[in-house]
Structure 1
Amino acid sequence: MQQPPEQRPWDPDNTVFPRLQDLPQIPNAPKHCAWVWGPEDNLGRLNLLTPRRVQAAASEIKTGETARVDLPLNVPKQPAWSREAFTLTIKVVDEGIGNDDLYHLNTQSGTQWDGFRHMSHAPTKTFYNNTKQEDISGPEANHKCSIHHWSTRGMVGRGILIDYRAYAESQGIVYDSASYYSITYANLVACGKHQGLDIRPASEGGDIHVGDFLFVRSGFVQDYYAKSDEENTFLGLRDEPVWAGLSQEDAVRNWLHDCYFAAVAGDAPAFEVWPPPRGYKLHEYLLALWGVPIGEMVDLEGVSALARKHKRWTFFFCSAPANCPGGVASHVNGTVMF
């Protein structure tokens, strides 16, 4: 750390940052919040994607092979949580000569980035960096913490895959991603060792670099395509969705904070196990308190295949979020390069 953590704004080029338990308390802010990049900040931990780190991430491109991470816009055909299904309308501009198309979609359906306007710290109804609901909707709405800020900056850096589904299958562990299956910190550590990764932060001797993009494959996409349309529709219409994902235990929460990921993502619909068994959601910590984007329903099948082919679990990643002023979320529009 090149500066004391009490001094703000933090220098994003630092290589060592405080652990969750050592975060300084910010006056009039929730406990464990890290609004440390300045009062006008809209990027959160995307600030860690400095030119130095992006340049270093480019060294991950060795074979030139690529994998897209976005599902088709109509997958899932029946979104959970009563969200609107994607529809495409072809608008004939001039019969036989030209056409337009019209999309109707919910940006929380399919492969998505959860933006900082998506979920607040529920006890205080405060979104990232002291954003309030009146900043997002209503007559006083503005662009504070809008998704378009990510687009103008870009999301580019080193990705790291924890392929938990592949590890589970190698160990004879069978589960359905549409069930309540919790991936614990011990599971993540064991999976990392199986892949030859030490999932501790580099500052503690591990393989996680400050500013990495974390990807966790739980098997949702694999399971979705293995099910019938009728089965997937039934799952999407459940009154209370149930999905596999990361445990909300303190060890997982602390690890997600202390690694200083630029963003986290998974192939599961909620990233964390759902419904949450505790009084808090990882979403509240990641989005509202720390400013960490969350990717959901990311298609990691191609990434997994390339990683297993090369026995290499790090790669170059780039994403182009929608440049939508005032927006809450965006499809990922992401590409992995090996």
Structure 2
Amino acid sequence: MGSIQAIPVDPIPESIHNIKFDSLPDKRRVWHAKPGSREEGLGKLVLLTPEVVAKAAASCIKTGQRVALNWDLTKLDIANFNRAPTQHHITSLLGGAGFDDVYIFNPQQSSQWDGLRHFSAPFPTPENPSQRLFYGGTTAMEISDRSNTRIGIQHWAKEGICGRGVLLDYVAYAERNSISYSALSDHAVPLRVLKQIAQEQGVQFQRGDILFIRIGLTKEWDNQMGPADKLSYAQSSNPQHAGVEGTEEMLRWIWDEGFAAVAGDAVSFEVYPPQKSYPGVDGNEVQGLFMHEYLIAGWGLPIGELFDLEELSRKCQELGRWEFFITSSPLNMPGGVSSPPNCLALF
């Protein structure tokens, strides 16, 4: 197998992001920035300092080969959760002298970054036991107010999401180890397996990395599912999505490794629906949790879903390395909830 050489990176300025998971004052609420500020809007992307990005570019861009990670905008062509399909209209301009596009789409239907407005977490009080808040304590009322752009996707758009990407190829690992599963099931990938994949690939993580995990949803959707299969999934009242285990152990690893963002080709990155428990290494059950509530609402960590990682996997195998430079330019939409990634991997 190939290897990834660790490149020394200047330390991130001392901040709450350098504190170990077990020493965090509140693991569910890392709200360190002033409400409404740029730093609040960036969340964990504050780790992508100019120094980190420059060193990532210097260490990763060697051949000039590029791979796009954007799945077809018309996929999922039949989506669950009542998400409407993409509409693309071509309109005539100046009597046929030219043409314009009109796009109507939900970014959640295809490759997308979940922004900080996408998901909340429960923060009950005696007065309001059902209260849920978004990152920084942002309320649903603030998000519904179109004049309020707090924690909107525009903060990410100003500088983009750029840095060192690393792929953990679970699909290839499963094939080597005769593990059979569907990406549209509650198949869960434990942390010990992710660590084993990293070891086999020669991966050494660096603070500020953008983590990609290949689960195989786009491959299965494009190559193994017919129209009836897709319709059955879309109409299911209890859809299932394979992904990483939702455990405190997984959260600890994601925090302590210092990832600036996580992404994959799964529908929801973590296994869905959230499981009450998972089998532990010692045979005992480990309590499950809903990681979206921690990663997005608690930490401000971008989650990428439905990225097309098939060509990326082939290129990594061809070159024998699983690191690359990532450029992603989210839509500059004030108050936006999510965005297509407009993402490239450069080798």
What is the DSSP-based 3-state SS (H/G/I as helix, E as strand, rest coil) of the residue aligned with 2:107? coil
Q: Does 1:296 align with 2:296?
A: no
Deviation for aligned residue 1:95: 4.5
Are 2:248 and 2:289, in contact at CA under 8 Å, matched by a contact in 1?
A: no
What is the DSSP-based 3-state SS (H/G/I as helix, E as strand, rest coil) of the residue aligned with 1:336? strand
Deviations 1:145-195 (A, max 9, x none): 001110012211000100011111011111110111001111111212221
What is the DSSP-based 3-state SS (H/G/I as helix, E as strand, rest coil) of the residue aligned with 2:324? strand
What is the DSSP-based 3-state SS (H/G/I as helix, E as strand, rest coil) of the residue aligned with 1:304? helix
Q: Does 1:46 align with 2:45?
A: yes
| Residue among 229, 232, 235 paired with 1:231 | 229
Q: Does 1:113 align with 2:120?
A: no
Q: Does 1:33 align with 2:33?
A: no
What is the DSSP-based 3-state SS (H/G/I as helix, E as strand, rest coil) of the residue aligned with 2:109? coil
Paired position in structure 1 for 2:144: 137
Q: Does 1:219 align with 2:219?
A: no
Give the partner amino acid of 1:178: L
Distance in 1 separating the partners of 2:28 and 2:118? 19
Deviation for aligned residue 1:280: 3.6
Paired position in structure 1 for 2:346: 337
Paired position in structure 2 for 1:151: 157
What is the DSSP-based 3-state SS (H/G/I as helix, E as strand, rest coil) of the residue aligned with 2:297? helix
| Residue among 309, 315, 322 paired with 1:306 | 315
Paired position in structure 1 for 2:22: 21
Are 2:247 and 2:289, in contact at CA under 8 Å, matched by a contact in 1?
A: no
Distance in 2 separating the partners of 1:260 and 1:44? 13
Are 2:69 and 2:343, in contact at CA under 8 Å, matched by a contact in 1?
A: yes
> Which moves more between the two structures, 107-116 or 31-40?
31-40
Paired position in structure 2 for 1:68: 68
Give the partner amino acid of 2:55: A
Give the partner amino acid of 1:90: I
Paired position in structure 2 for 1:8: none
Distance in 1 separating the partners of 2:240 and 2:175? 21
Over 3 Å off, 4+ runs = 11-16
Give the TM-score of the pair, scaled to structure 1. 0.88
Q: Does 1:128 align with 2:135?
A: yes
| Residue among 142, 148, 173 paired with 2:179 | 173
Give the partner amino acid of 1:218: I
Note the 1:175-254 alignment, pairs <5 A. Answer: 175-197=181-203, 207-226=204-223, 227-254=225-252
Deviations 1:66-99 (A, max 9, x none): 1000111101101121111101112122444222
Paired position in structure 2 for 1:7: none
Deviation for aligned residue 1:253: 1.6
Distance in 1 separating the partners of 2:14 and 2:47? 9
Deviation for aligned residue 1:277: 1.3
> Which moves more between the two structures, 234-243 or 35-44?
35-44
Give the TM-score of the pair, scaled to structure 2. 0.86
Deviation for aligned residue 1:12: 4.6
Q: Does 1:316 align with 2:325?
A: yes
Deviation for aligned residue 1:217: 0.2
Are 2:324 and 2:345, in contact at CA under 8 Å, matched by a contact in 1?
A: yes
User: Percent sequence identity over matched residues?
Assistant: 37
Deviation for aligned residue 1:105: 0.7
What is the DSSP-based 3-state SS (H/G/I as helix, E as strand, rest coil) of the residue aligned with 1:258? helix
Note the 1:97-112 alignment, pairs <5 A. Answer: 97-112=97-112
What is the DSSP-based 3-state SS (H/G/I as helix, E as strand, rest coil) of the residue aligned with 1:108? helix
- How many residue pairs match? The answer is 313
Deviation for aligned residue 1:234: 1.9
Distance in 2 separating the partners of 1:214 and 1:314? 10
Deviations 1:32-62 (A, max 9, x none): 3212244422111100110100100112001
Paired position in structure 1 for 2:57: 58
Are 2:208 and 2:260, in contact at CA under 8 Å, matched by a contact in 1?
A: yes
Unaligned runs of 5+ in 2: 1-10, 124-130, 277-287
Are 1:78 and 1:237, in contact at CA under 8 Å, matched by a contact in 2?
A: no
Distance in 1 separating the partners of 2:138 and 2:33? 14
Paired position in structure 2 for 1:79: 79
Q: Does 1:164 align with 2:173?
A: no
